[in-house]
Amino acid sequence: MAKCGAPTKTGGRCQRPVVTGTSRCPVHQGPWSSYGVAQRKEKEAKEKKRKIRKKR
């Protein structure tokens, strides 16, 4: 499996596996990627459900 390879704070290269169909791992994808957008939408949906449950 391919490695991310993004520069790290220590000066080395990231060794995490990449997300399928991209060249970076989830940490180095950024919020603009399709993976980041999907993760954000999923998190927002969970928070919305949690708020609805609290109201009941």
How far apart CA 5 and CA 29 sit, in angstroms, is 12
How far apart CA 51 and CA 7 sit, in angstroms, is 39
Non-local (6+) Cβ contacts of 7 within 8 A are 13, 14
Mean pLDDT, to the nearest integer, of 9-23? 89
Kindly list the distances between the CA atom of residue 47 and the CA atoms of 17, 29, 31, 38, 40, in Å, as whole numbers in the listed order.
Answer: 28, 23, 18, 14, 11
**pLDDT at residue 45 above 80?**
yes
Mean pLDDT, to the nearest integer, of 26-34? 78
- The pLDDT of residue 15: 94
Mean pLDDT, to the nearest integer, of 18-43? 82
**pLDDT at residue 35 above 80?**
no
